Amino acid sequence: MCPRRVRRNGPAAAVVMVIAAAALAATASAGPRYSSRIVEIETGAIRGIILELNSRHLEPVEVFRGVPYAAAPVGPQRFRPPAAPISWPGTRLADTFGAVCPQRVPDISNRTLALLHMPKGRYHHLKKLIPLLLNQSEDCLFLNIYVPGSGNRGLEAPYAVLVFIHGESFEWGSGNPYDGSVLASYGHVIVVTLNFRLGLLGFLRTRPVGAYKVDTGGDPPSGGNLGMKDIAAGLGWIKRNIGAFGGDPTRVTLMGHDTGAALANLLFVSPSSKGLFRRVVLLSGTALSPWATTHNPDALRLSVGQQTGCLPMPGFTASTSNAPPTATGGSGDDQRKKSPPQDDVDIAPCLRSR
């Protein structure tokens, strides 16, 4: 995945910004009003909150925030595919958003400087968005559910399900800011937003492509794209549990925006997500977008490995650089010969301990 994105302002981006604005209006309301029903899911009982919308045309929605769809990818689980979520005793109150995944948000603290790089509308959007991205933790695999009709099963139940894959970047963002309540109420669908691992934790390929040829200790060969595996795990969770909320697990639509559209497109063509969803909406991006994939993931692995001390710095081993050695003979060459080759090193075990 490519971390650098060129910002474009398209109509689809505008749609999503409206959703974000609705989120801010909703979070500004007073203390939560709890739903009268308790929903039983595979990991325990859960109670949501009722959100009133500021329109007499829109029914209130039942919202479940911060629902864990996978085990926390921390400690020994770091740089591993998501594992099944942990059960809880009693009734979990789903009234608070879960933490967002570790990320570095854009620095717009100097307004003058920021406005040299972006239009005013974008600046104001970021100014509202960034405060919602500051509660960060590696324990971030949560989703949020917006159910129409105050939790009562309406005439349309079971409801179709719309899963929103957030964009902005492969390195920052979260599902939390995108409030699905207006869409759920107006469209009579269940809306789900989710967090997935970002940046190095979510997309670094820690093992080189050729590594499966050597002994990998029984681990699967690929490594990398864990953020996408998180989304697939979220979709698996939805398939197993959304029925309990009044959703129809056979009518799940994936809606990806921007980098999220590339991820939705890649999931759509991936055999591993077969049967998890039925339709896809791509907003402002596809898997063929020039920024959607990276063509040299191993350069990133080497760079990260060297900067974290997991791999020796270049110059101390022959295999890190394609450049011809500058020194002829002498101790430098001896040093290179003694160093182990790096072509096959999975840096995940080392990074797990950082």
Ligand X SMILES: *[C@@H]1O[C@H](CO)[C@@H](O)[C@H](O)[C@H]1NC(C)=O
| Least distance between ligand X and beta carbon 238 (Å) | 20
Tell me the residue type at 293. T
Q: Cβ distance 326 to 344 under 8 Å?
A: no
Answer for which of 4, 110, 274, 329 binds ligand X (CB under 6 A) is 110
Q: Which stretch binds ligand X (CB under 6 A): 107-115, 206-214, 254-262, 276-284?
A: 107-115
Of 166 and 207, CB closest to ligand X:
166
- CA 108-114-119 angle, to 5 degrees, is 120
Q: Which stretch binds ligand X (CB under 6 A): 43-51, 93-101, 147-155, 284-292?
A: 93-101
Q: Cβ distance 96 to 80 under 8 Å?
A: no
Answer for which of 50, 118, 123, 135 binds ligand X (CB under 6 A) is 135
Indicate the SS3 state at residue 193: strand
Residue 126 tokens read as 């970021």
Of 195 and 206, CB closest to ligand X:
195
Should residue 98 be labelled a site residue for ligand X when binding is judged by CB under 6 A?
yes
Q: Which stretch binds ligand X (CB under 6 A): 92-100, 216-224, 277-285, 335-343?
A: 92-100
Give all strands (DSSP E) within the chain, no chain letters. 33-34, 39-41, 44-47, 49-51, 61-68, 91-93, 142-148, 159-165, 190-194, 247-257, 279-283
Should residue 74 be labelled a site residue for ligand X when binding is judged by CB under 6 A?
no
Answer for which of 14, 45, 113, 327 binds ligand X (CB under 6 A) is 113
DSSP letter at 242 equals: G
Indicate the SS3 state at residue 338: helix
Should residue 137 be labelled a site residue for ligand X when binding is judged by CB under 6 A?
yes
Cα 316 to Cα 292, 311, 313, 337: the distances in Å are 33, 10, 6, 9
Residue 155 tokens read as 């005439």
Q: Which stretch binds ligand X (CB under 6 A): 36-44, 109-117, 148-156, 343-351?
A: 109-117
Q: Which residue has the tokens 């595979």?
A: 42
Cα 30 to Cα 50, 52, 133: the distances in Å are 12, 11, 21
| Least distance between ligand X and beta carbon 96 (Å) | 5
Answer for which of 99, 133, 264, 266 binds ligand X (CB under 6 A) is 99
Of 51 and 348, CB closest to ligand X:
51
Number of residues near ligand X (by CB under 6 A): 9
Q: How many CB atoms lie within 10 A of CB 319?
A: 17
Should residue 28 be labelled a site residue for ligand X when binding is judged by CB under 6 A?
no
Answer for which of 112, 296, 322, 328 binds ligand X (CB under 6 A) is 112
Q: How many CB atoms lie within 10 A of CB 163?
A: 27
Should residue 31 be labelled a site residue for ligand X when binding is judged by CB under 6 A?
no
Answer for which of 96, 250, 321, 353 binds ligand X (CB under 6 A) is 96
Cβ partners under 8 Å of residue 214, min gap 6? 344
**Per-residue binding letters, 180-219, with ligand X (x by CB under 6 A):** ----------------------------------------
Residue numbers of the site for ligand X (CB under 6 A)? 96, 98-99, 110, 112-113, 135, 137, 139
